[in-house]
Structure 1
Amino acid sequence: MVTRSRDIAVLIVVILLIWQGLYQFTGTGLLTAPLDTFARVLRLLGTPNFWPHLNESASAFLRALAIAVGAGLTVGMALGAHRLSGEVAEPILVALYSIPKVTLYPVVLLFFGIGMPAKVVFGAIHGVVPIAIFAMNAVRNLNPIYLKTAQILKLGPWATARKVLLPATLPEIFTGLRVGFSLTLVGTLLGEMFGSQRGLGHLLMAAIGLYRMDTIMAITLLLVIFATTINSILLVVDYRLHRRV
């Protein structure tokens, strides 16, 4: 544990040194210094007008993640439990996963308009497919004895998913959830950047339009800290779940 903490501390120091070196090399036009960026973050957090944008982004992201997880697990488990359906649907899911999601945004705007619904749907679109693929493969690779046991006990589809499939496939599914988390966050922010009047993505686009490099770097730093922290926690949980298998 001490070694891991030391390695993390060394990595952070190295990143900050590289950041400072790049700032010295490129100048203020392309980057801001680490200390200046952290100071700008503190000023943003102390600005009352900033918090509604942060709350908007958090609300949109949590809703999108809930939809992606719920729909992804439902579709993935259903396709995994029915092999023929899964074999037919898998290439379709892979094709959907490979499509640049930005190309779908005009369609999302057409149906949902500019605002919260559009960015929630756009975020969910990014996360639902990888979660479904991981869940489907997890159920496919499940020992058949689990499904036979559920049949013997005469469990219904929902009871089978809740009591048999989910516990047995949790390690692999959790890996999919970790991937889905990152992609849903990206999708939500993209939705705010191109079709919203509120949120961190909107602030980021406004700062880009005004070439406010200090604000761009500060918002980016906040997002990186949030994503890295949550991903690190999820990675630890993922590692422990796989060790239990």
Structure 2
Amino acid sequence: MAQAQEASNSVRSERARGLQDAILVVLGILVVWQGLHWLAGDVAVSSPWATVSRLVELLLDPGFWPNVWETLYAFGLALLYALLGGLIIGVTLGGHRLSGEVAEPILVALYSIPKITLYPVILLLFGLGMSAKVAFGTIHGIIPVIIFTMNAVRNVAPVYLRTARALRMGPLSTGWRVLLPATVPEIVSGFRIGFALTLLGTLIGELFASQRGLGFMIIRSMERHDVPTLLAVSLLLFLFATLCSWALLIVDRRLNRRL
């Protein structure tokens, strides 16, 4: 009983420290932001209050939400393709050692290439609009998922694979029932990175090949030198990415604790 109480107190203390650290980080960001505003002025950086006020105005504007849904739809499709494609390719390459050894340096080289250099090819293949945004987002996010999944499959305990062979399980059944569950923690880690890069790729796609979306609003705000709107949309994206990354981090930690 005493040990359970002590463990409960330890968890509460850890959560309190985490909340305190988060508050300090937010306050630090606001102080730096306000300082930059005082140094550069409204022409370069709007104040935190002005930015939040502009964000509230946008959220209350019915004309703003079609841009939000456009970005979410493109990002959702790109994330789905990146995750499913990365899982399938990663499990396949990880299960076949020779193919994985050949593909790994190629994937690392592709991962290091600035994806913006591929944008003319994407436009030629997919044209302007939704398909180009989804393709560009998928290209950004799929490679980390492949690499993490492939390495996770390689690190699976050999006893699992021997058991699958003893049970006469086929390749598809082994991948689904043995490899995938054993590699979930590392796959989630790769998904966290792929999530951020997919969002980045989708927004970059909207900067150059879209007539609607949050990325389109950012580029239009830059053209008009509308600093409050530019920072308000950026703040919304920052909050969305931070909350989603925080949720994925919690899932990642809980999965690793169970192992």
TM-score by length of 2: 0.93
The equivalences for 1:34-53 within 5 A come to: 34-53=48-67
Q: Calculate the aligned-residue CA RMSD, in Å.
A: 0.8
Aligned to 1:219: 233
Cα distance in 2 for partners of 1:220, 1:138 equals 34
Residues in 2 aligned to 1:158 and 1:187: alpha-carbon distance in whole angstroms? 31
How far, CA to CA, are the matches of 1:49 and 1:64 in structure 2? 24
Deviations 1:100-120 (A, max 9, x none): 100111111101110001100
Instruction: State the alpha-carbon separation in 1 of the partners of residues 167 and 205 from structure 2.
Output: 46
Deviation at 1:158, TM superposition (A): 2.3
Secondary structure, counterpart of 2:211 in structure 1: coil
Does the residue aligned with 1:192 lie in a helix, a strand or coil?
helix
- Work out whether 1:240 is the aligned partner of 2:221: no
Instruction: Quote the Cα distance in structure 2 between the aligned partners of 1:15 and 1:215.
Output: 19
Please tell me whether residue 146 in structure 1 is matched to residue 160 in structure 2: yes
Distance 1:13 1:46 in 2: 26
Q: Which string of whole-angstrom CA distances, capped at 9 and with x for unpartnered residues, describes residues 122-151 of structure 1? A: 000000001000000000111111111112
Q: Does 1:228 align with 2:242?
A: yes
The range that moved more, 46-55 or 144-153, is 144-153
Q: Residue 197 of structure 1 aligns to a residue in which SS? A: coil
Partner of 2:202: 188
Q: Distance in 2 between matches of 1:122 and 1:152?
A: 43
- Unmatched tracts of structure 2, length 5 or more: 1-14
Q: Secondary structure at the match of 1:49?
A: helix
Q: Stretches of 4+ moved more than 6 A in 1? A: none
Kindly indicate whether residue 243 of structure 2 is the aligned counterpart of residue 207 of structure 1.
no
Residue among 163, 167, 184 paired with 2:181: 167
The 5-angstrom pairing of residues 1-245 of structure 1 reads 1-245=15-259
* Identity over aligned pairs, percent: 53
Query: Take 2:64 and 2:116, find their aligned partners in 1: how far apart are those partners?
Result: 26
Measure the CA separation in 2 of the matches of 1:139 and 1:177. Answer: 15
> What is the CA–CA distance in structure 2 between the aligned matches of 1:147 and 1:137, rounded to whole Å?
15
> What amino acid maps onto 1:105 in structure 2?
Y
What CA deviation, in whole Å up to 9, does each residue of 1:141-164 have, x standing for no partner?
Answer: 111111111122222222212211
The alignment's TM-score, normalised by the length of structure 1, stands at: 0.98
